[in-house]
Structure 1
Amino acid sequence: MWKGAPTISFLKANELRDKMTLSERQLWSELEKNKLLGIKFRRQHPIGVYIVDFYAHKLKLIIELDGKYHQNKKQQILDDERTIFLEFNGLKVIRFKNEEILENMETVIQRIENEISSLIK
């Protein structure tokens, strides 16, 4: 849990878990049950007023997946503000486009494992 997350964020997170996108479901199948270097990830996890796609509390690592709407200039500004907030609170954020998940999962997994390894040191 994240201190300060409003109740509405937890309700929304539950809803999002039920409506995961194809790319979120595919990445979750790789992350669940501590498959990546033994690290536990949570999905659709509230942090403050935000709900992040995947979160590894032990490493303070967030993985965000970006669909096409993230290419919109206004959404990019909101994403930047969100990342600034999360990083200000000591969290590491890495982002992938949905297409990367769907088309090149091996590379995505390698990048996540590299990030995990660098944070464990």
Structure 2
Amino acid sequence: MERQHNRPRLKPVRQDLRNHATPAERALWQMIKGRQLEGRKFRRQHSVGRYVLDFYCPAEGLAVELDGAVHADPARAEHDAARQRALEAWGMRALRFENHKILQTPDAVLEAIAEAFSPGGARPVHHP
């Protein structure tokens, strides 16, 4: 079975995305890195299948995606919907936030992420 998480062929893409993070991505990373959010470990620019997730909590099977203006394009919206269906088929959940929400109401975003955590700790996840 082909490796699905952090495929080597996507490493340059992941590195480029990390090196050119948006201000919202940099801000959220500062708030969740190092297990700062309820002790959960997050990875940034983690790939699953052919998709590169902005942030991923492996213990929760939770992706956190940040959307800029490009996501308003109808073609991009269909790509996002296909990505959402693929993640759900793998037993993952995804939360989406607009970039401005991270910058304007960071506490509300952190609260929404924490509310998505499984009660009593991590839940089992099927890793593709």
Instruction: Tell me, yes or no, if structure 1 residue 3 matches structure 2 residue 3.
Output: yes
SS of 2:117 mapped into structure 1: helix
**Structure with higher helix content:** 1
Question: Any idea what the Cα deviations from partners look like across 1:21-59, whole Å, max 9, x if unmatched?
Answer: 000000000110000000000000011111000000011
Alpha carbons of 1:73 and 1:32: their partners in 2 closer, same or farther (altered >3 Å)? same
Alpha carbons of 1:24 and 1:95: their partners in 2 closer, same or farther (altered >3 Å)? same
Q: 8 Å contact 1:52–1:62 — kept in the other structure?
A: yes
1:28 maps to a residue whose letter is W
Q: Distance in 1 between matches of 2:119 and 2:41?
A: 16
TM-score by length of 1: 0.92
1:94 maps to a residue whose letter is L
Q: Distance in 1 between matches of 2:113 and 2:17?
A: 22
Alpha-carbon offset, residue 74 of structure 1: 0.7
Q: Distance in 1 between matches of 2:58 and 2:104?
A: 28
Structure 1 stretches (4+) deviating beyond 3 angstroms? none
Alpha-carbon offset, residue 70 of structure 1: 0.3
Larger relative contact order (C-alpha < 8 A, sep ≥ 6)? 2
Runs (5+) with no aligned partner, structure 2 = 123-128
CA-based RMSD: 1.7
TM-score by length of 2: 0.88
Alpha-carbon offset, residue 118 of structure 1: 4.1
Runs (5+) with no aligned partner, structure 1 = none
Q: Hey, what does 1:116 align to over in structure 2?
A: 117
Q: Hey, what does 2:126 align to over in structure 1?
A: none
* Pairing of 1:1-121 with structure 2 (within 5 A): 3-5=3-5, 6-118=7-119, 120=121
Q: 8 Å contact 1:53–1:65 — kept in the other structure?
A: yes
